[in-house]
Structure 1
Amino acid sequence: MRSGILAGLAAFLLCACASPPPVQHAPEPVQTASRYRAQIHTQLGAGYYSRGQLGVALEELKVALAADPNYGPAYNVLGLVYAALGEPTLAEQNFLRALALDPNDSEARNNYGLFLCQRNRQEEGIGQLLQALRNPLYRTPELAYVNAGNCAQQTGDRKRAQEFFEKALQIQPSQPQALRAMAEIAYGDGRFDEAHAHLARYMQIAQPDAESLALGVQIERRRGDRQAEASYAAQLRNRFPQSKEAQALESGDL
């Protein structure tokens, strides 16, 4: 059951940590009208992408690039859209175009690294993620560390993954994906009190799902805290009765 939790966690982390381009509220004084139009339609495209409206996102991004074919962030979001559409070749082409236009675009580099990890090209992906972190102006370096940790975890390198997640938490102590991943790693290594501490912090800042509640059941069972185990089990049964985790709990396989 632990491997199932890990696989679900990997998918969760990969979906959660894509970086949209920074929001632009007004044109810069020297900015051309075409560049401003490209920014506005890129932001609209990013918004539609985040809501899963991929067709509309694609149309907005085409408008952005018609206005300014050299606007890098539009290619970054296009990469995300094409990846979500199951078009990996087009996705990679657009990420690379974004980086060719601006090698210091850490959002694009983070997203490209994430994409590579999703394509089972983990070492290439980690390389891109670490390169994103070299930019001192990168607004969300914790996301790159989370993605690097998840990527390392996919290769079975739990020690390296833990190092990346710890760095994410040094930057943002309440980073939920890193806290949850650290709880999973600590549980797998038999450090049950540490797993308990990380999961408790995660539960304070995030809405639990079936996987995190199942992990709580397992951690508290190994710690011998029957009351806490029963609490997690009750939440799992009540909130996610049809989940595979709840079914495993009822059958004794959890």
Structure 2
Amino acid sequence: MTACQTPATLGKKDPERATQVRTQLAAEYIKAGDLDSAKRALDQALEINSRDSAANMMMGILLQQEGSKVSLSKADAYFKRAISADPKNAQARNNYGTYLYKVERYNDAIEQLNIAGTTLGYDQRYQALENAGRIYLKLGNVTEAEKSFKQALQANRESLISMLELAEIFYLKQQTADATQLYEQFVRGVGQKSQGARALWIGIRLARANSDKMGMQVLVNQLRALFPESPEYQRYLQLQYSTEAVWK
């Protein structure tokens, strides 16, 4: 026979370990979509140590994933508590930045993502920089977006998102050679047949800019076959006879 350990008894025995175990368990529940079990595990973790940075961060993630207005409003306090408990927790800042983007607090999101993105040794800092770049694009700040995507590629040379975003930025700036190089690198990474509608549209415009009629037609056919209702294909139909130097 074995005795059942409650959160309180395990917490007294090794509170740090007990909090960690429950937080990790909650993460697995969240991945599996079992938000109720995740909430119970995190309640136990925070009962043991209400100031634990990882547990507070995970509660913020849980509430964000649940997605209701009430949960989203509560998530903010947990992310703040996670960062307050450990200002060097780059993962918490990255997740908080993602949350702030979701609730359309764009400038606050950029602040958190840039801190995470410049934390050397943080293995996901390139993702924080990618997200910052996307927000800059949304705000119309192409200069800062380009800078963020370049930094993301420096942090991770296989950052496919940054390759594609920079390819389009360079294309629109008529830096065709640089854009083509990044697009081709992106295609090698994902595979010719695994491109989404947006990637194909970028490829079509680059092929046109490079006077590659055959390559352009191959991509047009692929876009038509796979994404006939996409905004990208509809845009192609609008512009197919246009003589403008840069299709946007």
Structures share a fold, TM > 0.5?
yes
Structure possessing the higher relative contact order (Cα contacts under 8 Å, 6 or more residues apart): 1
TM bucket (normalised to shorter chain) is 0.7 to 0.9
Q: How does 1:88-237 map to 2 (within 5 A)?
A: 88-206=72-190, 207-237=194-224
TM-score, normalization: structure 2? Answer: 0.77
- Structure 2 distance, partners of 1:51, 1:215, is 35
For residue 217 of structure 1, report the CA deviation from its aligned partner.
1.6
SS of alignment partner, residue 139 of structure 1: coil
- Structure 1 distance, partners of 2:238, 2:131, is 33
- Structure 2 distance, partners of 1:34, 1:187, is 55
Percent identity, aligned pairs only? 27
Does 2:49 match 1:71?
A: no
Change over 3 Å in CA distance of 1:135–1:163 after alignment to 2: closer
TM-score, normalization: structure 1? Answer: 0.75
- Structure 2 distance, partners of 1:70, 1:164, is 32
Q: Structure 1, residues 95-124: CA drift from partner, whole Å, max 9, x if none?
A: 101112111100001111222233333222
- Structure 2 distance, partners of 1:201, 1:80, is 33
Q: Structure 1, residues 136-183: CA drift from partner, whole Å, max 9, x if none?
A: 442222122212212222221101110111111112111111111111
- Structure 1 distance, partners of 2:119, 2:35, is 30
Q: Structure 1, residues 21-40: CA drift from partner, whole Å, max 9, x if none?
A: xxxxxxxxxx9644334333
- Matched letter for residue 211 of structure 1: R
For residue 243 of structure 1, report the CA deviation from its aligned partner.
3.5
- Structure 1 distance, partners of 2:130, 2:162, is 6
- Structure 2 distance, partners of 1:124, 1:200, is 34
RMSD of equivalent CA atoms = 2.6
Contact 2:168 / 2:179 at 8 angstroms: preserved in 1?
yes
- Structure 1 distance, partners of 2:33, 2:175, is 38
Which has the higher Rg, Structure 1 or Structure 2? 2
Q: Which moved more, 1:45-54 or 1:138-147?
A: 45-54
- Matched letter for residue 164 of structure 2: R
Change over 3 Å in CA distance of 1:253–1:57 after alignment to 2: farther
Q: Which moved more, 1:217-226 or 1:133-142?
A: 133-142
For residue 247 of structure 1, report the CA deviation from its aligned partner.
4.8
Q: Which moved more, 1:166-175 or 1:233-242?
A: 233-242
Aligned partner (choices 38, 42, 52) of residue 61 of structure 1: 42
Q: Any gaps of 5 or more consecutive residues in structure 1?
A: 1-30
Change over 3 Å in CA distance of 1:37–1:242 after alignment to 2: farther
Contact 2:117 / 2:127 at 8 angstroms: preserved in 1?
no
SS of alignment partner, residue 104 of structure 1: coil
Question: May I ask how many residue pairs the two structures share in their alignment?
Answer: 223
- Structure 2 distance, partners of 1:79, 1:156, is 29
